[in-house]
Amino acid sequence: MGLTEAFYKVKKSARLTLNLELLRYLGPGFLVTVGFIDPGNWATNIAAGSEFNYSLLWVITLSTLMLIFLQHMSAHLGIVTGRCLAESCRQWFPSWSNYIIGGSIMLACVATALAEFLGAAIGLTIISGLPLAYSGAVAGVVILVLVTVQKYDQIEHIVISLVSIIGFCYLLELYIVKPQWGLAAAASVIPSIDSSKILIAMGMLGAVVMPHNIYLHSEVIQKRDYSADNEERKRQLLRYEFMDTLFAMGAGWLINCAMVVVAAAVFFRNGVRVSDIAQAAQTLKPLAGDLAEFLFAAALICAGLSSSITACLAGGTVFTGFLGKEKDPQTSWFRVGVLLTALPAMLIMTVLSDTYTALIWSQVALSIQLPLTIIPLIVLTRSSRVMGAYANGRFENLLMYLCAAVIIFFNILLIGSFIGVKF
């Protein structure tokens, strides 16, 4: 064997080893990705596609780009400090600000859980014919068992499986409805916004850049072995985290875009105005066939169940983190946080008369809370006292400021639309 051939064999072996090692670190990103493939996304994406055709696809693209960066920064905070975002807020910020930040994020977790429980219940109702209240009770029991009994690694496997099912369902849906790909591609990168679209756009933003996911990512990433003997190894492991985040969020972008594209191709094209998710499933039946309705309901159940897991985990993480308690899902304090997230959502679900509007507004509420999550993340990750040598550089800080500015600007536009400002 010549030296050249031996060199290429060694290089190929090293590349294979690197790829196999990367697989060990995949998982946390997918666990949080399912949070923005949830029933709230379904409601906002269906509203966007059915009312505005493909014109709001760019919101998903922009939101996903911000999400990749923000989740990456949250994961870095967890890896470098060994603490989740809630614990870091408790350590570095004054008590009065933590009451505001912690209280607002717990309310965001409840709003998220409400959307997830509703989605799972609606999907079960579509398939089984059970009343919504019974379907909600069944979904709630299943979700609470999964969260309180399973371990993180087991939950990751469940979630990745469910996300795969959702993706497969939407691939089939896209084949069935035959969208206008040229218009969709252009709309995904060309911004278009006015006062009639801002509420739905804000819902889409909150449904993608979800504050509870930013908190959760900084915790679940620590369940991976990120210990390193030297700086080079540490930076390699941090790159693995970024690849995990990039792959997972990229998959989420594809699925969310597919939701809008399907809604536009089926509903907007045929002049159908959707007023609730159940109606959307029924409308798909004559327009796209029986298979589309079943796939819609099956994917909705998977989205609701899997994203409910992440919402409840986030509630437990936030609750214990801000109180300084152990974040083990098997502890009593963590379970109290889960129950404080799940039970109010289940109670609110029983009294709702317009589930579709509730789903959209739950996502708008997340957008409104986002500045209270991003600003603490900026303060912590830019601080050398907190992050040491891994504190943000100028470029990272600039991107963080841009993300915060975009989200605050969208909130200002939303407030303007409420008081009658036209743009």
Report how far residue 53's alpha carbon sits from residue 37's, in angstroms, rounded to the nearest whole number: 20
Tell me the C-alpha distance between 272 and 266, whole Å.
8
Supply the DSSP string of 300-362, one letter for each residue. HHHHHHHHHHHHHHHHHHHHHHHHT----TTSHHHHHHHHHHHHHHHHHHHH-S-HHHHHHHH
Cβ atoms of residues 309 and 158 within 8 Å: yes
pLDDT in tens, the chain (423 residues): 443 443 334 334 434 444 555 555 555 656 666 666 778 888 899 999 999 999 999 999 999 999 889 988 998 898 888 899 999 999 999 999 999 999 999 999 999 999 888 888 888 888 888 888 888 888 888 877 777 665 555 655 666 666 667 677 777 778 888 899 999 999 999 999 998 999 999 999 998 898 998 998 888 776 665 555 566 766 776 777 778 778 878 888 988 898 899 889 888 988 888 887 877 776 666 566 777 777 778 778 877 877 788 888 899 999 999 999 988 777 899 989 999 999 999 888 888 878 888 889 999 999 999 999 999 999 999 999 999 988 999 999 999 999 999 999 999 999 888 887 777
Task: Return the DSSP state at 272.
Answer: P
Phi-psi region of 325 (alpha: psi -120 to 50; beta: other; left: phi over 0): beta
Which of these, 211, 260, 22, 208, lies nearest to 101 by C-alpha position? 211
Tokens of 230: 């030297």
> Identity (one letter) of the amino acid at 19?
N
Query: What class does CATH assign to 36-222+251-418?
Result: mainly alpha
**What is the Cα–Cα distance from 107 to 369, expressed in whole angstroms?**
9
CA distance 144 to 294: 26
Where do the domains of the chain lie?
Answer: 36-222+251-418
The count of C-alpha atoms lying within 13 angstroms of the C-alpha of 261, restricted to the half-sphere facing its C-beta, is 27
Rounded-to-integer distance, Cα 25 and Cα 226, Å:
9
Find where tokens 């589309």 sit. 292
What is the value of pTM for the model shown? 0.84
Taking the mean position of all CA atoms in its chain, how far away is CA 7?
Answer: 44
Q: Compute the distance between CA of residue 58 and CA of residue 190 in angstroms, rounded to an integer.
A: 6
392 Cα distance to chain centroid: 24
